Structure 1
Amino acid sequence: MDFHFLLDPAGFSLSEGWLAVGLKSPYWTVLLAGLLNTLKVALPALLLATVLGTLIGLGRRSDHPLIRLVADSYVGLFRNIPLLILLLAVYFLIIQGLPVASQAWSFHGWIYLSKSGLAIPDLWSGQWPRQGYFSVEGGWVLSPEYCAVLLALVLYTAAFIAEVVRAGVQSVPRGLVQAGLALGFGRLQLNRLVVLPVALRAIVPALGNQYLNLLKNASLGVAVGYPELVSVSNTAMNQSGQVIQCVVLILIIYALLSILASALMGRWNRAVNRGSA
């Protein structure tokens, strides 16, 4: 199997990404840019989904009926919607529901939200977004495609993480909870100092599966035109005609990403369970 085509000029560029590529960039550079775009959306989604899922999972164990109802409804809704349908719904909601750039929603003049995407200050280079007639210029602009993939991954994965957190919290021995209450801990103190540290031993292994699913689900960005690895590889197949080679590369890259993620989660799991026997 010949992979020498990776050194040939790709003949196409990407609309966005951390790595700038042009028409003369070789295929390997363009594929690397697609991989970076995958990580660009997957890593923030992982963090946000963990935070949201943890809050919802704790909300399902709340004593307040309204909080418990909202949390239960969230999980019941997003666990039963296919991710692809959710992604398309979010994307078309952004395209149809947001104003054009000339009428972009502004938050204190430093964040703009419109059909052009989400524009935020680029603190690294010191550039701030400016509202134009056709687009918002300057700063760091997150495209509508990126925002749709990010939001869909967060909403979908958070529902499953919430179930993992709820089950982990439920596995904590009731005696520990009663001991914390006897010491005068409030609800927040009890969750932070007693419940979550113990529940992590049950949460982390199952959480690793959700992280792996999120990483692989990022490939659905191809459905809305976000230039992640699979989308870029599809274009590379059409341009080069090297279909088998491109598919093999996708398989190898996702396998390596999964192995790396599993190794990191395994290390976290050992750290959490160290000393417990």
Structure 2
Amino acid sequence: PRQSLSLFDSIFFNVRGLVVPAPEALPGFAATPWALAVAVVLTVALTIFARRRQAATGKALPMYRIGAALVVGLPLIVFLASGSPLAWSIPELKGFNFRGGINIMPELMALWLALSIYTAAFIAEIVRSGIQSVPHGQTEASRSLSLPGGITLRKIVIPQAMRVIVPQLTSQYLNLIKNSSLATAIGYPDIVAVFAGTTLNQTGQAIEIIAMTMAVYLVISLLVSLLMNLYNARTLLKER
């Protein structure tokens, strides 16, 4: 720890992991999450109202700006009005280790970076193929109507591309869940390491422990598939 790489004397990196400042809520901070929840509810309600208003009158509201202002502005105003009730625990070297802050394990950092980069590459190709699957005539028709590029992307390209993106994205999410089990190979205590490692060594019940491990991954995969299939059903193009 004494040979750690330091950034602004607040962030430290060594062989034991990454030590960063940790937020500590003070009395009165609970109002800020409630303000965020209210802002989200208001944004959803205004979005539904804006869609109905546009369907009835043809006039659209800038909901992206309104929603961003509500979700960011309302909690920020409440946070500042309550006296900024948030402190930071700065890590300090005391003895043979750091005290305070959050210590992120190097195994977790390696797993996070590896899975993020690996999965992001596949998802990028999935999104690219979905967008390229939309006929070029669709964008040409929107340009002939003088529609802005943002509206063309949100209202014309993305809705048609999602029917190609979502099925492949579902498979990629399931692959990500299964690939996370490789964390045991680098010493990170994930579900496989705890179940098939620690618990199996303590109990000796190999069949039951492996069955439990398989059941956990099966349930998680089925839940992800269910949610993605429900979303896929909503994004399908409805033919008249």
Q: Which has the higher strand share?
A: 2
Contact 2:170 2:225 (8 Å CA) reproduced:
yes
The equivalent residue for 2:17 is 117
> 5+ residue gaps in structure 2?
26-86
Structure 1 distance, partners of 2:212, 2:124, is 34
The equivalent residue for 1:259 is 222
Structure 1 distance, partners of 2:151, 2:11, is 35
Structure 2 distance, partners of 1:112, 1:184, is 50
Cα distance, 1:192–1:139 mapped onto 2, change above 3 Å: farther
Structure 1 distance, partners of 2:169, 2:231, is 11
Paired residue for 1:273, among 228, 232, 236? 236
Cα distance, 1:226–1:171 mapped onto 2, change above 3 Å: same
Structure 1 distance, partners of 2:118, 2:111, is 11
Which 10-residue stretch deviates more, 256-265 or 172-181?
172-181
Identity of aligned residues (%): 39
Deviation of 1:142 (Å): 1.6
Deviation of 1:177 (Å): 1.5
Larger Rg: 2
2:115 is aligned with 1:153? yes
- Residue type of the partner of 1:214? L
TM-score by length of 2: 0.65
Once superposed, what is the RMSD of the aligned Cα atoms? Answer: 2.4
Deviation of 1:243 (Å): 1.1
Higher RCO (C-alpha 8 Å, min separation 6):
1
Q: Secondary structure of the equivalent of 2:109?
A: helix
**1:1-277 → structure 2 map (5 Å cutoff):** 102-106=3-7, 108-123=8-23, 125=25, 126-132=87-93, 134-182=96-144, 183=146, 185-186=148-149, 190-233=152-195, 234-273=197-236, 275=238
Tell me the matched-pair count: 176
Contact 2:20 2:91 (8 Å CA) reproduced:
no
Structure 1 distance, partners of 2:183, 2:177, is 11
Deviation of 1:127 (Å): 4.3
Structure 1 distance, partners of 2:9, 2:142, is 46
Deviation of 1:137 (Å): 3.2
Structure 1 distance, partners of 2:23, 2:233, is 37
Deviation of 1:135 (Å): 3.8
Deviation of 1:178 (Å): 1.5
> 5+ residue gaps in structure 1?
1-99
